[in-house]
Amino acid sequence: MPSIIKKPKQKFRTKTVRIRFLDTHKFSDVNEVPLFVKKGDFIVIETEKGEELVLVVGNAVPDSENSSEYKFLRKATKKDIQIFDKHEREAEKALNICKNFAERLGLKMNLLKAYIPLNRSKILFYYVSEGRVDFRQLVKDLAKRLKMRIEMRQVGVRDGVQMAGAIGVCGQECCCSLFMDKFDPVNVEMLEEQNLPPTPMKFTGVCGRLMCCLAFEVDNYSIRKDLPEIESEIEINGQKYIVKGYDFIKEALELIDEHGLVVTIPFEELDKLGIKRESGCSGCNGCGQSTVFEDKPEEEKLPEVEDWKEGIQ
């Protein structure tokens, strides 16, 4: 009897792709995805929540130091998408049940979304709360009613807006729900650094926190600490100027000469001219007196401690 020869499984060339989760709207990378998977496709991956349907948003560069914790299973089939849609309808009903139970138990929590993975390993409830919530009785009631494993996940207010989606004061979709991968710290000091009025209410987002976009350009203003103070007097090539202001868009320092004419100097020219902010610990003890700067010849080397400063008046 002739022996049966098993053909080896065909191995596809793989790549790393960028994906977006359909429950939290967060982004991540997945390795070893076949090359035929393209942007806009849905794939099924294995996560700590179970088998999930996710959206491919593009290719990504593999990170050898931080390998992906998710495993590619298959390109989504029509049946996978149908199951996902069915679970979404079921999860919406379960969310309403959970809200009724939570209200009856007097729990202070804002329930956002319910989510059921493709393999029905559990049902997750995402919620926002100012403090810890004792939901033990809630979980018991839900498990008895839904006949599924229950998992409660608390998220921050910014995560909540990212999940739900919203329109910002700029008229565009909120950055968190549109493209943001992670939330950077945002504080009131960023308003002053970017020459914005110190009124946090004007820069508060839908989530009630300072808008994420305040952190997008803050690095462009890092040079401010090296610029001479506004209204201070500097001297360049024997001519005195008063610092009028900073133009961070044009990346230039605005000066006024003795005749009232406005002169602009690009930031990149400041080092050549020896213009630096005078440090308060270099002998003036923070007195705030003006500092004189001179354009030094290129071959003249000053000690590092002088930092291109000629002296203090």
**48 and 123 together in one domain:** no
User: Is there a domain that residue 271 lies in?
Assistant: yes
- Among the candidates 172, 201, 216, a domain finishes at 216
My answer on whether 228 and 308 are in the same domain is yes
**What are the residues facing 264 on neighbouring strands?**
254
- For residue 54, the model assigns a pLDDT of 96
pLDDT band of residue 92 (cuts 50, 70, 90) is: very high
Name the residue with higher pLDDT: 8 or 254. Answer: 254
Q: Tokens 């991968």 label which residue?
A: 181
Within the chain, residue ranges assigned H as helices are 78-105, 136-146, 157-164, 175-178, 189-193, 270-273
Same domain, 105 and 25: no
Question: Is the residue at 263 inside a domain?
Answer: yes
- 121 and 179 in a single domain? The answer is no
Q: What percent of the chain has pLDDT over 90?
A: 41
**Same domain as 295, residue 244:** yes
Shared-domain flag, residues 229 and 303: yes
Q: Is position 45 within any domain?
A: yes
Lookup: tokens for 170 = 């700029």
Would you say residue 1 lies in a domain? no
Structural domain of residue 169, as residue ranges?
158-216
Asked whether residue 88 falls in the same domain as residue 131, the answer is yes
Report pLDDT for 273: 76
What's the rounded Cα separation, in Å, for the pair 219 and 205? 21
3 assigned to some structural domain: no
Could you tell me if 210 and 195 lie in one domain? yes
Tally of domains within the chain: 4
CB neighbourhood size of 245 (10 A): 15
Same domain, 36 and 110: no
At 72, list the tokens: 């590619």
88 and 113 assigned to the same domain? yes
The pLDDT assigned to 91 comes to 96
Is 10 or 298 the better-scoring residue by pLDDT? Answer: 10
Q: Would 5 be classed as within a structural domain?
A: no
Domain stops at, among 24, 50, 76: 76
The tens digit of pLDDT for each residue in 103-118 reads: 999 999 999 999 999 9
Question: What's the pLDDT score for residue 121?
Answer: 92
Same domain, 116 and 71: no
Q: Picking from 9-18, 32-41, 131-140, which range would have the lowest pLDDT averaged per residue?
A: 9-18
Q: Which of the listed ranges 10-19, 151-160, 184-193, 239-248 does the model predict with the highest average pLDDT?
A: 151-160
First to last CA, the chain: 105
Strands 150-154 and 123-128: parallel
Token pair listed for 141: 């009631």
CATH number reported for the structural domain that contains residue 98 in this entry: 3.30.300.20
Q: Are residues 280 and 292 in the same domain?
A: yes
Residue 189 lies in a domain: yes
> Is 8 inside a domain boundary?
no
The pLDDT, as a whole number, for residue 57 is 94
The mean pLDDT value for 252-256 works out to 85
Q: Is pLDDT of 301 > 50?
A: no
Other C-beta atoms closer than 10 Å to the C-beta of 229 total: 13
Sheet with 233-236: strands ordered across = 233-236, 239-247, 252-257, 262-266
Where is the domain boundary, 199, 216, 233?
216
pLDDT: which is higher, 207 or 280: 207
The reported pLDDT for the residue numbered 274 is 72
DSSP run (H or E) holding 57:
strand 50-59
